Amino acid sequence: IATRFAAFLKNAWAKEQVLVASFCIRGLAIILPAHSPYTTYALRINPATPYNYPVHPQGPSLERQKCKYTHSLKPLY
């Protein structure tokens, strides 16, 4: 099977170099991102990242944490 595939590639490269090159680049573009260090790092860091966002404090016990100058802010535009 390997010899027939090698013969096919040799024949295809002799006839249509642009198509063979484009398919090789396309194949690498599909395969290589799965093996990149960024993907490996992202797969490890995503489960460790909490999925909650900070909210504005509410209630009488949290009044001290609120910014007292937010009502005096004016838009910069």
Residues sharing a CB contact under 8 Å with residue 13, sequence separation 6 or more, in sequence order: 20
Q: Residue 34: its pLDDT value, please?
A: 85
Query: Does any domain span residue 25?
Result: yes
Could you tell me the residue range of the domain that residue 8 belongs to?
Answer: 1-47
* DSSP count for the chain of H helices, then E strands: 3, 0
**pTM value > 0.85:** no
Query: Does any domain span residue 71?
Result: no
Query: Does any domain span residue 64?
Result: no
C-alpha span between 62 and 57 (Å, rounded): 6
What total of structural domains would you count in the chain?
1
Query: Does any domain span residue 43?
Result: yes
Helix H or strand E segment including 18: helix 17-31
Q: Residue 59: its pLDDT value, please?
A: 58
Query: Does any domain span residue 60?
Result: no
Report pLDDT digits (tens) over 13-63.
999 999 999 999 999 999 988 888 888 888 888 888 777 766 666 656 655
